[in-house]
Amino acid sequence: MDDSPPTGDELLRILSALANPHRLRILGTLSVRRDYVSSLARVIGIGRPLLHMHLQRLEAAGLVRGTLELSNDGKAVKYYEATDFALTLTPETIRRALPTLTDKTEKKET
């Protein structure tokens, strides 16, 4: 993530990704070391299909990144690691992000 403030959609993606206990556990684990799906599933204590879904949400929010590597036996293994990010959430951050929301539920005042 860069140092610019998030757009409204980016802010929603980040907050939504962080608003789940499994994803917080995944991110906390990956903040210590990178890991591959099977190992990470055992550490977190969830199944691989559910872990994949959570990793996709975290990756879409820019909080983790996955890289495909070849193991010694020639199998492709995807490793995940936490990205460097910092989010300062203040009323000002939210106010500045509002105009960039693409799914506006409030009517514009004229």
Per-residue pLDDT of the chain (110 residues; tens, 9 = 90+): 567 888 999 999 999 999 999 999 999 999 999 999 999 999 999 999 999 999 999 999 999 999 999 988 989 999 999 999 998 899 999 999 999 999 755 544 43
- Is 64 within 8 Å of 26 (Cβ atoms)? yes
CATH assignment of the domain containing 53: 1.10.10.10
User: Does some domain include residue 1?
Assistant: no
**Whole-number Å distance between alpha carbons of 92 and 94:** 5
**Whole-number Å distance between alpha carbons of 37 and 15:** 23
85 C-beta neighbours (distance < 10 Å), count: 14
User: Does some domain include residue 24?
Assistant: yes
Number of domains in the chain: 1
- Is 11 within 8 Å of 91 (Cβ atoms)? no
User: Does some domain include residue 49?
Assistant: yes
Residue-number span of the structural domain to which 46 is assigned = 8-90
**Whole-number Å distance between alpha carbons of 62 and 48:** 20
